[in-house]
Structure 1
Amino acid sequence: MRLVSFSSSSSRDGSVRLGVDTAAGVVEVPEGSGAPVTVRDLLAAGPAGLDRVRAVVADADGAVPLESLRLAPAVPDPAKIICVGLNYQKHAAEGGMPVPEQPIYFAKFGNSLAGSGADVVIPAATRRADYEVELVAVVGRRTRGVSVEAALDSVFGYATGNDLSARELQMRSSQWTYGKAIDGFAPLGPFLVTADEVPDPQALDLRCWVNGELRQDSNTRDMVFSVAELVSDLSQIMTLEPGDVIYTGTPEGVILGMADPVWLQPGDEVACEVQGLGRLVTRLVADPT
Protein backbone atom coordinates (compact mmCIF):
# COMPACT_ATOMS: atom_id res chain seq x y z
CA MET A 1 0.00 0.00 0.00
CA ARG A 2 1.24 3.49 -0.88
CA LEU A 3 0.33 5.82 1.97
CA VAL A 4 0.20 9.60 1.61
CA SER A 5 0.30 12.27 4.32
CA PHE A 6 -1.12 15.63 3.32
CA SER A 7 -2.65 18.83 4.67
CA SER A 8 -6.39 18.28 4.56
CA SER A 9 -9.00 21.02 4.34
CA SER A 10 -11.63 18.48 5.39
CA SER A 11 -10.20 17.91 8.86
CA ARG A 12 -11.53 20.12 11.63
CA ASP A 13 -8.18 21.74 12.39
CA GLY A 14 -6.50 21.54 8.96
CA SER A 15 -4.04 18.98 10.31
CA VAL A 16 -2.05 16.41 8.38
CA ARG A 17 -4.18 13.46 7.34
CA LEU A 18 -3.69 10.01 5.89
CA GLY A 19 -4.57 8.90 2.37
CA VAL A 20 -3.90 5.95 0.10
CA ASP A 21 -2.62 6.27 -3.44
CA THR A 22 -4.75 4.20 -5.80
CA ALA A 23 -5.13 3.83 -9.57
CA ALA A 24 -7.93 6.42 -9.40
CA GLY A 25 -6.00 8.91 -7.26
CA VAL A 26 -5.53 9.53 -3.54
CA VAL A 27 -8.34 8.40 -1.27
CA GLU A 28 -8.47 10.16 2.10
CA VAL A 29 -9.17 8.04 5.17
CA PRO A 30 -12.12 9.90 6.68
CA GLU A 31 -12.69 10.70 10.32
CA GLY A 32 -15.31 8.50 11.92
CA SER A 33 -14.52 5.56 9.65
CA GLY A 34 -12.99 3.48 12.43
CA ALA A 35 -9.65 3.49 10.60
CA PRO A 36 -6.51 5.41 11.64
CA VAL A 37 -6.40 8.89 10.08
CA THR A 38 -2.69 9.67 10.63
CA VAL A 39 0.54 7.73 10.16
CA ARG A 40 1.16 7.83 13.91
CA ASP A 41 -2.27 6.33 14.63
CA LEU A 42 -1.74 3.72 11.93
CA LEU A 43 1.58 2.59 13.36
CA ALA A 44 0.09 2.42 16.85
CA ALA A 45 -2.78 0.27 15.58
CA GLY A 46 -0.50 -2.36 14.06
CA PRO A 47 -1.64 -4.85 11.41
CA ALA A 48 -5.29 -4.42 12.39
CA GLY A 49 -5.01 -0.72 11.54
CA LEU A 50 -3.73 -1.52 8.07
CA ASP A 51 -6.63 -3.90 7.55
CA ARG A 52 -9.11 -1.18 8.53
CA VAL A 53 -7.49 1.30 6.13
CA ARG A 54 -7.66 -1.24 3.30
CA ALA A 55 -11.34 -1.85 3.98
CA VAL A 56 -12.21 1.85 4.06
CA VAL A 57 -10.33 2.55 0.83
CA ALA A 58 -11.96 -0.40 -0.91
CA ASP A 59 -15.41 1.07 -0.16
CA ALA A 60 -14.53 4.71 -0.89
CA ASP A 61 -16.08 6.60 -3.79
CA GLY A 62 -13.98 9.75 -4.21
CA ALA A 63 -10.32 10.21 -5.11
CA VAL A 64 -8.23 13.26 -5.96
CA PRO A 65 -5.05 13.59 -8.05
CA LEU A 66 -1.83 13.41 -6.06
CA GLU A 67 -0.70 16.63 -7.78
CA SER A 68 -3.61 18.56 -6.26
CA LEU A 69 -2.51 17.87 -2.67
CA ARG A 70 -0.14 19.77 -0.44
CA LEU A 71 2.02 16.86 0.65
CA ALA A 72 3.48 16.52 4.12
CA PRO A 73 6.58 14.45 4.85
CA ALA A 74 5.76 10.76 4.39
CA VAL A 75 6.24 10.35 8.15
CA PRO A 76 5.23 13.76 9.54
CA ASP A 77 6.36 13.40 13.17
CA PRO A 78 9.05 10.76 13.78
CA ALA A 79 10.61 10.62 17.22
CA LYS A 80 14.01 9.91 15.65
CA ILE A 81 15.61 10.77 12.31
CA ILE A 82 18.78 8.70 12.07
CA CYS A 83 21.08 9.04 9.07
CA VAL A 84 23.96 6.90 7.85
CA GLY A 85 27.10 8.32 6.26
CA LEU A 86 29.40 6.75 3.65
CA ASN A 87 27.20 3.70 3.29
CA TYR A 88 27.85 3.08 -0.41
CA GLN A 89 31.15 1.72 -1.69
CA LYS A 90 31.45 4.10 -4.64
CA HIS A 91 30.28 7.13 -2.67
CA ALA A 92 33.09 6.63 -0.16
CA ALA A 93 35.54 6.30 -3.04
CA GLU A 94 34.41 9.49 -4.80
CA GLY A 95 34.92 11.44 -1.58
CA GLY A 96 38.40 9.99 -1.08
CA MET A 97 37.33 8.36 2.19
CA PRO A 98 37.87 4.77 3.37
CA VAL A 99 34.91 2.41 3.38
CA PRO A 100 33.83 2.36 7.02
CA GLU A 101 34.25 -0.77 9.10
CA GLN A 102 31.27 0.17 11.24
CA PRO A 103 28.23 2.31 10.36
CA ILE A 104 28.65 6.07 10.73
CA TYR A 105 25.54 7.69 12.20
CA PHE A 106 24.34 11.25 12.58
CA ALA A 107 20.98 12.78 13.40
CA LYS A 108 18.55 15.18 11.88
CA PHE A 109 15.48 16.56 13.63
CA GLY A 110 11.86 17.43 12.94
CA ASN A 111 12.76 20.90 11.64
CA SER A 112 14.60 19.26 8.72
CA LEU A 113 11.57 17.41 7.34
CA ALA A 114 9.89 18.60 4.14
CA GLY A 115 7.23 17.10 1.92
CA SER A 116 7.54 16.43 -1.78
CA GLY A 117 6.95 19.60 -3.77
CA ALA A 118 7.98 21.90 -0.92
CA ASP A 119 10.32 24.85 -1.31
CA VAL A 120 13.49 24.46 0.77
CA VAL A 121 15.61 27.47 1.69
CA ILE A 122 19.36 27.35 1.12
CA PRO A 123 20.59 29.21 4.21
CA ALA A 124 22.84 32.20 3.71
CA ALA A 125 25.44 30.46 5.88
CA THR A 126 26.34 28.00 3.10
CA ARG A 127 27.58 28.24 -0.47
CA ARG A 128 27.97 24.47 -0.87
CA ALA A 129 24.52 22.87 -0.77
CA ASP A 130 24.44 19.30 -2.08
CA TYR A 131 21.87 16.55 -2.70
CA GLU A 132 21.80 12.88 -1.63
CA VAL A 133 19.09 10.47 -2.80
CA GLU A 134 18.47 7.80 -0.16
CA LEU A 135 16.31 4.81 0.69
CA VAL A 136 14.57 5.52 3.99
CA ALA A 137 13.38 2.72 6.27
CA VAL A 138 10.50 3.37 8.67
CA VAL A 139 10.30 1.39 11.90
CA GLY A 140 6.96 -0.28 12.54
CA ARG A 141 7.21 -1.63 16.06
CA ARG A 142 9.18 -1.17 19.26
CA THR A 143 12.53 -2.87 18.69
CA ARG A 144 15.45 -3.53 21.01
CA GLY A 145 18.32 -5.97 20.52
CA VAL A 146 16.98 -7.51 17.32
CA SER A 147 19.15 -9.84 15.24
CA VAL A 148 20.11 -9.09 11.64
CA GLU A 149 18.04 -12.09 10.55
CA ALA A 150 14.87 -10.75 12.19
CA ALA A 151 15.49 -7.01 11.72
CA LEU A 152 13.38 -6.49 8.60
CA ASP A 153 10.34 -7.74 10.51
CA SER A 154 10.58 -4.47 12.44
CA VAL A 155 10.36 -2.33 9.28
CA PHE A 156 6.88 -1.02 8.51
CA GLY A 157 7.76 0.45 5.15
CA TYR A 158 10.06 2.52 2.98
CA ALA A 159 10.20 5.98 1.43
CA THR A 160 12.37 8.11 -0.82
CA GLY A 161 14.55 10.63 1.01
CA ASN A 162 16.97 13.41 0.16
CA ASP A 163 19.73 14.05 2.71
CA LEU A 164 20.46 17.62 1.67
CA SER A 165 23.82 18.80 3.02
CA ALA A 166 25.81 21.99 3.44
CA ARG A 167 29.28 20.64 2.79
CA GLU A 168 31.52 23.34 4.25
CA LEU A 169 29.38 23.39 7.40
CA GLN A 170 29.35 19.60 7.58
CA MET A 171 33.13 19.41 7.39
CA ARG A 172 33.98 22.17 9.85
CA SER A 173 34.33 19.53 12.58
CA SER A 174 34.26 15.76 12.97
CA GLN A 175 30.58 16.02 13.91
CA TRP A 176 28.36 16.57 10.86
CA THR A 177 25.19 17.88 12.51
CA TYR A 178 25.76 21.58 11.75
CA GLY A 179 25.81 20.93 8.01
CA LYS A 180 23.02 18.36 8.04
CA ALA A 181 20.26 19.28 10.52
CA ILE A 182 19.21 22.41 8.61
CA ASP A 183 15.59 23.49 8.20
CA GLY A 184 14.01 21.53 5.35
CA PHE A 185 17.15 19.49 4.61
CA ALA A 186 15.43 16.10 5.01
CA PRO A 187 12.74 15.92 2.30
CA LEU A 188 10.78 12.68 2.60
CA GLY A 189 8.09 11.22 0.34
CA PRO A 190 5.86 11.38 -1.57
CA PHE A 191 4.79 7.94 -0.31
CA LEU A 192 5.30 5.64 2.62
CA VAL A 193 5.18 2.24 0.95
CA THR A 194 4.42 -0.75 3.15
CA ALA A 195 7.14 -3.37 3.43
CA ASP A 196 5.08 -6.08 1.74
CA GLU A 197 5.56 -4.19 -1.54
CA VAL A 198 9.36 -4.12 -1.12
CA PRO A 199 10.43 -7.77 -0.91
CA ASP A 200 14.16 -6.95 -1.07
CA PRO A 201 15.35 -3.50 0.03
CA GLN A 202 18.83 -4.40 -1.24
CA ALA A 203 17.69 -4.57 -4.86
CA LEU A 204 16.28 -1.10 -5.52
CA ASP A 205 17.45 1.43 -8.11
CA LEU A 206 18.10 4.99 -6.87
CA ARG A 207 18.31 8.05 -9.10
CA CYS A 208 18.63 11.80 -8.63
CA TRP A 209 18.23 14.60 -11.17
CA VAL A 210 19.07 18.30 -10.88
CA ASN A 211 17.05 20.44 -13.29
CA GLY A 212 16.41 17.31 -15.35
CA GLU A 213 20.08 16.23 -15.53
CA LEU A 214 20.73 12.76 -14.14
CA ARG A 215 23.35 12.98 -11.37
CA GLN A 216 23.00 9.76 -9.36
CA ASP A 217 22.16 6.33 -10.77
CA SER A 218 22.84 3.31 -8.58
CA ASN A 219 21.28 0.42 -6.69
CA THR A 220 20.96 -0.38 -2.99
CA ARG A 221 23.01 -3.55 -3.53
CA ASP A 222 26.08 -1.24 -3.32
CA MET A 223 25.35 -0.49 0.34
CA VAL A 224 28.17 -1.25 2.74
CA PHE A 225 25.68 -2.10 5.52
CA SER A 226 22.24 -3.43 4.59
CA VAL A 227 18.96 -2.14 5.98
CA ALA A 228 18.74 -5.22 8.19
CA GLU A 229 22.27 -4.67 9.53
CA LEU A 230 21.53 -1.01 10.29
CA VAL A 231 18.28 -1.75 12.13
CA SER A 232 19.94 -4.50 14.13
CA ASP A 233 23.00 -2.40 14.95
CA LEU A 234 20.98 0.62 16.10
CA SER A 235 18.70 -1.57 18.21
CA GLN A 236 21.68 -2.79 20.26
CA ILE A 237 22.06 0.63 21.90
CA MET A 238 18.65 2.32 21.59
CA THR A 239 15.00 1.37 21.53
CA LEU A 240 13.61 1.99 18.07
CA GLU A 241 10.02 3.19 18.17
CA PRO A 242 7.22 3.01 15.59
CA GLY A 243 7.67 5.86 13.13
CA ASP A 244 11.41 6.28 13.60
CA VAL A 245 13.05 6.87 10.22
CA ILE A 246 16.48 5.75 9.06
CA TYR A 247 18.10 7.45 6.06
CA THR A 248 20.33 4.63 4.86
CA GLY A 249 22.99 6.53 2.87
CA THR A 250 23.55 7.81 -0.65
CA PRO A 251 25.36 6.41 -3.70
CA GLU A 252 27.99 8.10 -5.84
CA GLY A 253 27.27 11.17 -7.96
CA VAL A 254 27.00 13.94 -5.37
CA ILE A 255 28.49 17.36 -6.04
CA LEU A 256 31.11 16.85 -3.32
CA GLY A 257 32.77 14.16 -5.45
CA MET A 258 33.00 16.25 -8.64
CA ALA A 259 36.29 17.66 -9.95
CA ASP A 260 34.62 20.99 -10.80
CA PRO A 261 31.67 21.27 -8.42
CA VAL A 262 28.75 23.56 -9.15
CA TRP A 263 26.75 23.67 -5.94
CA LEU A 264 22.98 23.85 -5.70
CA GLN A 265 21.53 27.31 -6.25
CA PRO A 266 18.17 28.99 -5.62
CA GLY A 267 15.88 28.04 -8.48
CA ASP A 268 17.27 24.52 -8.85
CA GLU A 269 14.88 21.57 -8.73
CA VAL A 270 16.10 18.27 -7.32
CA ALA A 271 14.13 15.10 -8.07
CA CYS A 272 14.92 11.85 -6.25
CA GLU A 273 13.50 8.41 -6.98
CA VAL A 274 13.85 5.04 -5.32
CA GLN A 275 12.38 2.18 -7.32
CA GLY A 276 8.72 1.67 -6.47
CA LEU A 277 8.64 4.42 -3.85
CA GLY A 278 7.79 7.48 -5.92
CA ARG A 279 9.42 10.71 -7.06
CA LEU A 280 10.44 13.23 -4.39
CA VAL A 281 10.70 16.77 -5.77
CA THR A 282 12.39 19.67 -3.96
CA ARG A 283 12.62 23.26 -5.17
CA LEU A 284 15.45 25.30 -3.70
CA VAL A 285 14.95 28.97 -2.88
CA ALA A 286 17.06 31.82 -1.55
CA ASP A 287 17.28 32.69 2.11
CA PRO A 288 15.00 35.73 2.64
CA THR A 289 16.86 36.87 5.75
Structure 2
Amino acid sequence: MTRPIEQAATGTIFGVALNYHSQLDHKLAEFREAPYKAPPTKPVLFIKTPNTRNRHEGSVVFPASCERLQPGPSIGVVIGKKASRVKKDGVLSYVAGLTIVNEFSLPEDSFYRPAVKAKCRDGFCPMGPELVELADIADPDQLVLKLYVNGELRQEGSTADWVRSIQELLVDITEFMTLNEGDVLITGTPGGRVDVKPGDQVTVEVSGLGSLTNTIVAE
Protein backbone atom coordinates (compact mmCIF):
# COMPACT_ATOMS: atom_id res chain seq x y z
CA MET A 1 0.00 0.00 0.00
CA THR A 2 1.26 3.49 -0.83
CA ARG A 3 0.21 7.06 -0.09
CA PRO A 4 1.59 10.50 -1.02
CA ILE A 5 4.68 11.28 1.03
CA GLU A 6 3.32 14.73 1.95
CA GLN A 7 0.62 13.03 4.02
CA ALA A 8 3.05 10.86 5.98
CA ALA A 9 6.36 12.72 6.34
CA THR A 10 5.25 15.76 8.29
CA GLY A 11 7.83 15.88 11.11
CA THR A 12 11.52 16.51 11.60
CA ILE A 13 14.02 15.16 9.07
CA PHE A 14 17.15 13.56 10.54
CA GLY A 15 20.09 12.32 8.46
CA VAL A 16 22.68 9.66 9.22
CA ALA A 17 26.18 10.22 7.84
CA LEU A 18 28.66 7.43 7.07
CA ASN A 19 26.08 4.63 7.12
CA TYR A 20 27.47 2.78 4.09
CA HIS A 21 30.68 0.77 4.31
CA SER A 22 31.56 2.02 0.80
CA GLN A 23 31.74 5.53 2.25
CA LEU A 24 33.02 4.81 5.76
CA ASP A 25 35.84 2.48 4.69
CA HIS A 26 37.15 5.11 2.29
CA LYS A 27 37.54 7.48 5.26
CA LEU A 28 39.00 5.09 7.86
CA ALA A 29 42.62 6.20 7.42
CA GLU A 30 41.58 9.85 7.77
CA PHE A 31 39.52 9.11 10.88
CA ARG A 32 42.48 7.49 12.60
CA GLU A 33 44.38 10.79 12.37
CA ALA A 34 43.88 13.94 14.47
CA PRO A 35 41.48 15.37 15.39
CA TYR A 36 39.31 12.23 15.20
CA LYS A 37 41.81 9.46 16.11
CA ALA A 38 39.10 6.80 15.75
CA PRO A 39 36.11 6.06 13.50
CA PRO A 40 32.65 6.81 14.91
CA THR A 41 31.12 4.17 17.19
CA LYS A 42 27.58 5.59 17.16
CA PRO A 43 25.40 7.03 14.36
CA VAL A 44 26.57 10.45 13.16
CA LEU A 45 23.43 12.57 12.89
CA PHE A 46 22.49 15.83 11.21
CA ILE A 47 19.22 17.67 10.59
CA LYS A 48 17.62 18.74 7.33
CA THR A 49 15.65 21.83 8.33
CA PRO A 50 12.04 22.48 7.13
CA ASN A 51 13.20 24.85 4.37
CA THR A 52 15.02 21.95 2.68
CA ARG A 53 11.78 20.09 1.92
CA ASN A 54 11.22 19.49 -1.77
CA ARG A 55 9.15 17.13 -3.90
CA HIS A 56 9.23 14.88 -6.93
CA GLU A 57 9.79 16.96 -10.08
CA GLY A 58 10.65 20.02 -8.00
CA SER A 59 13.62 22.23 -8.85
CA VAL A 60 16.83 22.24 -6.82
CA VAL A 61 18.67 25.57 -6.88
CA PHE A 62 22.42 25.60 -7.49
CA PRO A 63 23.59 28.43 -5.20
CA ALA A 64 25.35 31.23 -7.09
CA SER A 65 28.00 31.51 -4.37
CA CYS A 66 29.01 27.82 -4.60
CA GLU A 67 31.19 25.92 -7.02
CA ARG A 68 29.91 22.38 -6.48
CA LEU A 69 26.65 20.58 -5.64
CA GLN A 70 26.21 16.86 -4.92
CA PRO A 71 23.05 14.75 -4.86
CA GLY A 72 22.76 12.01 -2.24
CA PRO A 73 20.57 9.02 -3.14
CA SER A 74 19.07 7.62 0.01
CA ILE A 75 16.15 5.85 1.66
CA GLY A 76 13.96 7.62 4.19
CA VAL A 77 12.41 5.75 7.09
CA VAL A 78 9.12 7.40 8.05
CA ILE A 79 8.16 6.96 11.69
CA GLY A 80 4.60 5.75 12.28
CA LYS A 81 4.25 6.26 16.03
CA LYS A 82 6.13 7.72 18.99
CA ALA A 83 9.38 5.81 19.54
CA SER A 84 11.44 6.13 22.71
CA ARG A 85 14.02 3.64 24.01
CA VAL A 86 12.76 0.95 21.65
CA LYS A 87 14.13 -2.58 21.73
CA LYS A 88 15.35 -4.38 18.61
CA ASP A 89 12.59 -6.98 18.77
CA GLY A 90 9.50 -5.39 17.26
CA VAL A 91 11.23 -2.14 16.37
CA LEU A 92 9.86 -2.18 12.82
CA SER A 93 6.36 -1.75 14.25
CA TYR A 94 7.35 1.91 14.76
CA VAL A 95 7.95 2.37 11.02
CA ALA A 96 5.13 3.60 8.78
CA GLY A 97 7.11 2.84 5.63
CA LEU A 98 9.97 3.86 3.36
CA THR A 99 10.41 6.55 0.74
CA ILE A 100 13.10 7.84 -1.62
CA VAL A 101 15.20 10.82 -0.53
CA ASN A 102 17.77 12.82 -2.50
CA GLU A 103 19.89 14.44 0.20
CA PHE A 104 21.56 17.31 -1.67
CA SER A 105 24.64 18.87 -0.11
CA LEU A 106 27.62 21.02 -0.84
CA PRO A 107 30.89 19.02 -0.55
CA GLU A 108 31.79 18.52 3.12
CA ASP A 109 35.09 18.83 4.95
CA SER A 110 33.90 17.23 8.19
CA PHE A 111 31.68 14.18 8.49
CA TYR A 112 31.64 14.29 12.28
CA ARG A 113 30.11 17.77 12.25
CA PRO A 114 28.12 18.15 9.02
CA ALA A 115 27.87 21.85 8.21
CA VAL A 116 24.46 23.55 8.29
CA LYS A 117 25.52 25.70 5.32
CA ALA A 118 26.26 22.56 3.30
CA LYS A 119 23.14 20.62 4.26
CA CYS A 120 20.34 23.10 4.87
CA ARG A 121 19.94 25.20 1.73
CA ASP A 122 16.39 25.76 0.46
CA GLY A 123 15.03 22.73 -1.38
CA PHE A 124 17.98 20.46 -0.57
CA CYS A 125 15.84 17.49 0.50
CA PRO A 126 13.47 16.16 -2.16
CA MET A 127 11.39 13.19 -0.95
CA GLY A 128 8.82 10.85 -2.44
CA PRO A 129 6.82 10.68 -4.44
CA GLU A 130 5.17 8.02 -2.23
CA LEU A 131 5.44 6.25 1.10
CA VAL A 132 5.64 2.47 0.62
CA GLU A 133 4.59 0.37 3.59
CA LEU A 134 7.09 -2.19 4.89
CA ALA A 135 4.65 -5.02 4.18
CA ASP A 136 5.08 -4.28 0.48
CA ILE A 137 8.89 -4.40 0.60
CA ALA A 138 10.45 -7.86 0.36
CA ASP A 139 13.66 -7.04 2.25
CA PRO A 140 14.72 -3.51 3.29
CA ASP A 141 18.30 -4.79 3.67
CA GLN A 142 18.54 -5.74 -0.02
CA LEU A 143 17.39 -2.62 -1.85
CA VAL A 144 19.38 -1.24 -4.79
CA LEU A 145 19.82 2.52 -5.15
CA LYS A 146 20.77 4.08 -8.48
CA LEU A 147 21.49 7.71 -9.30
CA TYR A 148 21.03 8.89 -12.89
CA VAL A 149 22.15 12.26 -14.23
CA ASN A 150 20.56 13.10 -17.59
CA GLY A 151 19.75 9.42 -18.00
CA GLU A 152 23.31 8.21 -17.32
CA LEU A 153 23.95 5.93 -14.35
CA ARG A 154 26.45 7.77 -12.13
CA GLN A 155 26.19 6.15 -8.69
CA GLU A 156 24.93 2.82 -7.37
CA GLY A 157 24.72 1.10 -4.00
CA SER A 158 22.75 -1.41 -1.98
CA THR A 159 21.32 -1.37 1.52
CA ALA A 160 23.20 -4.64 2.02
CA ASP A 161 26.18 -2.27 2.49
CA TRP A 162 24.59 -0.44 5.43
CA VAL A 163 26.79 -0.05 8.51
CA ARG A 164 23.64 -0.10 10.67
CA SER A 165 20.26 -1.51 9.70
CA ILE A 166 16.98 0.32 10.28
CA GLN A 167 16.50 -1.67 13.48
CA GLU A 168 19.97 -0.81 14.78
CA LEU A 169 19.60 2.88 13.93
CA LEU A 170 16.26 3.18 15.70
CA VAL A 171 17.54 1.40 18.80
CA ASP A 172 20.64 3.61 18.99
CA ILE A 173 18.85 6.90 18.27
CA THR A 174 15.77 6.42 20.46
CA GLU A 175 18.03 5.57 23.37
CA PHE A 176 18.57 9.31 23.84
CA MET A 177 15.99 11.00 21.59
CA THR A 178 12.28 10.42 21.01
CA LEU A 179 11.16 10.10 17.41
CA ASN A 180 7.59 11.10 16.67
CA GLU A 181 5.00 10.13 14.08
CA GLY A 182 5.88 11.74 10.78
CA ASP A 183 9.60 12.12 11.50
CA VAL A 184 11.94 10.93 8.76
CA LEU A 185 15.29 9.22 9.21
CA ILE A 186 17.55 9.41 6.15
CA THR A 187 19.64 6.23 6.22
CA GLY A 188 22.75 7.53 4.46
CA THR A 189 24.21 7.74 0.98
CA PRO A 190 26.46 5.16 -0.73
CA GLY A 191 30.04 6.07 -1.52
CA GLY A 192 30.93 7.82 -4.77
CA ARG A 193 28.96 11.06 -4.65
CA VAL A 194 29.07 12.99 -7.93
CA ASP A 195 28.77 16.65 -8.91
CA VAL A 196 25.82 18.09 -10.81
CA LYS A 197 25.30 21.44 -12.54
CA PRO A 198 22.43 23.69 -13.62
CA GLY A 199 20.34 22.10 -16.34
CA ASP A 200 20.93 18.53 -15.13
CA GLN A 201 18.02 16.19 -14.53
CA VAL A 202 18.73 13.99 -11.52
CA THR A 203 16.83 10.78 -10.79
CA VAL A 204 17.11 8.44 -7.82
CA GLU A 205 15.73 4.97 -8.46
CA VAL A 206 15.27 2.46 -5.63
CA SER A 207 14.08 -1.11 -6.14
CA GLY A 208 10.59 -1.48 -4.73
CA LEU A 209 10.18 2.25 -4.05
CA GLY A 210 10.05 3.77 -7.54
CA SER A 211 11.92 6.88 -8.66
CA LEU A 212 12.37 10.51 -7.63
CA THR A 213 13.34 13.12 -10.25
CA ASN A 214 14.49 16.71 -9.84
CA THR A 215 15.99 19.36 -12.10
CA ILE A 216 18.97 21.53 -11.13
CA VAL A 217 18.48 25.23 -11.87
CA ALA A 218 20.81 28.20 -11.50
CA GLU A 219 20.06 30.68 -8.74
TM-score normalised to the size of structure 2?
0.89
Q: Is the 8 A contact 2:13 2:184 kept in 1?
A: yes
Corresponding position of 2:46: 106
Q: Deviations over 1:119-158 (max 9, x none)?
A: 1111123211001100110000011100122221100100
Amino acid at match of 1:3: R
| Equivalence map 1:66-215=2 (5 Å) | 75=9, 77-78=10-11, 80-94=12-26, 97-98=30-31, 100-167=40-107, 171=110, 174-215=113-154
In the aligned structure 1, how far is the partner of 2:171 from the partner of 2:141?
15
Higher relative contact order (CA 8 A, sep 6+): 2
Aligned-CA RMSD value: 2.0
Shift of 1:171: 4.5
Unaligned runs of 5+ in 1: 6-15, 17-38, 41-74, 256-262
Unaligned runs of 5+ in 2: 32-38
Q: Is the 8 A contact 1:171 1:179 kept in 2?
A: no
In the aligned structure 2, how far is the partner of 1:171 from the partner of 1:234?
21
Shift of 1:100: 3.3
TM-score normalised to the size of structure 1?
0.68
State the percentage of identical aligned residues: 36
Shift of 1:102: 1.6
Amino acid at match of 2:51: N
In the aligned structure 2, how far is the partner of 1:127 from the partner of 1:154?
40
In the alignment, is residue 280 of structure 1 matched against residue 212 of structure 2? yes
The number of aligned residues is: 211
Amino acid at match of 1:279: S
Q: Give structure 1 regions of 4+ aligned residues with deviation exceeding 6 angstroms.
A: none
Residues 207/95 of structure 1: CA separation in 2 closer, same or farther (3 Å cut): farther
Shift of 1:199: 4.0
In the aligned structure 2, how far is the partner of 1:230 from the partner of 1:158?
14
Shift of 1:246: 0.4
